[in-house]
Amino acid sequence: MTDNIKDRIKTDLQAAKETGQLRVERVREIVKAAVSEVVGEFKEGSRDLRTIVREAVSAVVENFQERGSEIKEEVTASIEGAIEAVNAKRHEAIAQTQAQVKQLQAQVDAEEEKIQQEVEGILTEIKDTSTEKSSQAKTAIESAISAIQNSEEAALLRRRYAQLQAQLAIVRANLAARYGGRSEEVNIYLEDAKKWFNDARPQAESIVEQVQEKHGQLEIKLGEAGSALARRERQVKQMLKELLTAVTSLFKDKDTAENPKEPTIRK
């Protein structure tokens, strides 16, 4: 079995070389296709499966060995292709689970919206009945309702939650890209990040210019990562890594901008 996979990979690599198509991406596709054909015959995590992967990578190394040490990209591509083939079924299961999670999240959001509407209805009814009270009581009721409706704590909690979800989506995109996830799976996480990022955008006009600028930079990075993914560029992993760093930095800057520390008074 291992000899067969090595022979196939070498044959396909030679054919690609003769037609002038032996590029890094093609190496990854050749290894992925070869490993995909046999991966179903072995139990996940078995030693035989690991041997297949090792031999697939070895075939690529042997094919390019005349180039000496300048084969890092080809070896990396072969490893990526083998890993993607091995984990294909797992990522299909992950995608299905993620779809279920999104459905549950939508249900949670709908229930929270119902709660919000119900609370608003109760507060409106209380406000309407306050017209029968004395002016002092009416003022007190209206002030209490206003405080509840405009709670900064509640808004902050919702924004923090959206921030964490945006970061988590980008972390998942990084993990999927690193460990052989399909481009469709990675793109789903990027779309989730965009949604949560927009939910986390502060509404206050007082936000500092630096943070506004970083919002724009992050939107550009999200768009670039999605475009690179569609074109299957190899730099997409580095772009996702930079995106995670950017969003983490952004939210730290937002915390500083929105919650400046009070000056320390020394006695």
Mean pLDDT of 99-122: 87
Q: What percent of the chain has pLDDT over 70?
A: 79
Mean pLDDT of 184-204: 78
| Structure tokens given for 57 | 């990578």
How many CA atoms lie within 13 Å of 4's alpha carbon, on the beta-carbon side?
A: 5
Give the CA dihedral 78, 79, 80, 84, nearest 10 degrees.
100
Instruction: State the pLDDT at residue 204.
Output: 42
CA distance 245 to 258: 20
Q: Which residues fall within 8 angstroms of residue 207, CB to CB, at 6 or more apart?
A: 254, 257, 258
Mean pLDDT of 20-25: 84
In 103-236, where do the E strands start and end? Answer: none
Residue 49 reports pLDDT greater than 70: yes
Span of 18-22, 137-141, 252-256 with lowest mean pLDDT: 252-256
Residue 188 reports pLDDT greater than 70: yes
Q: Any idea which residue has 């390019």 for tokens?
A: 64
The reply to whether the predicted model has a pTM over 0.95 is no
Mean pLDDT of 213-238: 69
Q: Which residues fall within 8 angstroms of residue 127, CB to CB, at 6 or more apart?
A: 141, 142, 145
Residue 45 reports pLDDT greater than 90: no
| Residues 58/71, Cβ–Cβ less than 8 Å | no
Q: pLDDT band at residue 46, thresholds of 50, 70 and 90?
A: low
Q: pLDDT band at residue 107, thresholds of 50, 70 and 90?
A: very high
Span of 51-60, 100-109, 121-130, 149-158 with lowest mean pLDDT: 149-158
By C-alpha distance, which of 62, 59, 52, 49 is closest to 9?
Answer: 59
Q: pLDDT band at residue 163, thresholds of 50, 70 and 90?
A: confident
| Residues 250/214, Cβ–Cβ less than 8 Å | yes
How many CA atoms lie within 13 Å of 64's alpha carbon, on the beta-carbon side?
A: 23
Residue 159 reports pLDDT greater than 60: yes
CA distance 86 to 5: 14
Q: pLDDT band at residue 15, thresholds of 50, 70 and 90?
A: very high
Residue 30 reports pLDDT greater than 90: yes
Q: Is the dihedral angle over the CA atoms 36, 41, 43, 46 positive or is it negative?
A: negative
Instruction: State the pLDDT at residue 267.
Output: 37
